[in-house]
Amino acid sequence: MSAAAPAATDPVEPLDVDLVKRSQAGDTRAFDLLVTRYRSRIYAMTYHLVQNETEAWDLAQEAFIKAWRALPNFKLDAAFYTWLYRIAHNVTYDWLRKKKIQGDGEFDDERTEHRAMPGSRTAPQGFDAPDRAMKRQELGKRIQDAIARLSPDHRQAIVLREIEGLSYEEIAEVMKCSLGTIMSRLFYARKKLQEMLKDTYENPV
């Protein structure tokens, strides 16, 4: 899965596989290192999906707790992050589904603005002039708002594709629907985003 994050490459940093084995033996400090290593990615994923800081924080934490419980069954046949990512996605997906069943379609309350972490994979590179930086920031905020206004299914498809870089097959597997449905969701999600952000393209940054 493309969601695999690079494991620690610094020779001083313990490898994921070693930390996982220690965690499986009950070493909670090793697990704490894994939490520290992946919390930013897992939190970003949950945040993009639920668009609420508090809920995203809780869901990310729930994902790590579930991972700890499931660790004895993890056979190390996949990258730890790929495995963790699936758990986090399932936790968030279940939450979104419950939210949908309860008829609570609002996801944009208590939303707060975030900025990319310095050095993160998608963080803008280089330095911008102040007016340009401000425009970028405004665009970022508008994109976040637009994403928040998508339906959960459309938002999920976009996040999995654009941020996590999953293939259509992987998205279909994660979202448990057909390839055709995934393509339709991606198409209509993008059309809606285009509509919401159309003046961005008329006055590009």
Partner 1 sequence: MKTPSDENHDLIRWLDGEMTPAERSAFEATLKNDPELAAEAESMRQLSENLKAHLPAEMPVPHADFFNSQIQVRIAQMEADEAREGRKSAESTAAWLSWLRMPWLAGAAAAAFAVAGLVWMQTSPTGGASTIASTYTPNPAVHAQVFHSTEAGATVLMLDGLEPIPAEKKVAGFRVHHAESDAGVATTTLFDENGVVLAVVALNALGQPQVLK
Q: Residues interacting with partner 1, by CB under 8 A?
A: 25-26, 28, 31-32, 35-36, 39-41, 43-44, 47-48, 53, 57, 60-61, 64-65, 68-69, 114-117, 120-124, 136, 139-140, 143-144, 147, 158-159, 161-164, 167-168, 180, 183-184, 186-187, 190, 193-194, 197, 200-201, 204
At 41, which amino acid appears?
A: R
Using left for φ > 0, alpha for ψ between -120 and 50, and beta otherwise, residue 110 falls in left
Residue 101 C-beta: closest distance to partner 1, Å: 26
> Closest CB to partner 1 among 69 and 102?
69
Of 110 and 131, which CB lies nearer to partner 1 in the complex structure? 110
CB of 121 within 8 A of CB of 40? Answer: no
Task: Give the C-alpha distances (Å, rounded to integers) separating 34 from 13, 166, 167.
Answer: 11, 22, 26
Nearer to partner 1, 99 or 145 (CB): 145
Whole-number Å distance between alpha carbons of 144 and 124: 16
Distance CA 172, CA 15 (A): 31
Minimum Å gap between C-beta 97 and partner 1 is 22
Residue placing its CB nearer to partner 1 in the complex, 90 or 167: 167
| Residues 166 and 103 sit within 8 Å (Cβ to Cβ) | no
CA 15 – CA 25 distance, rounded (Å)? 16
Minimum CB distance to partner 1 smaller for 6 or for 103: 6
Minimum distance of partner 1 from residue 124's CB (angstroms): 6
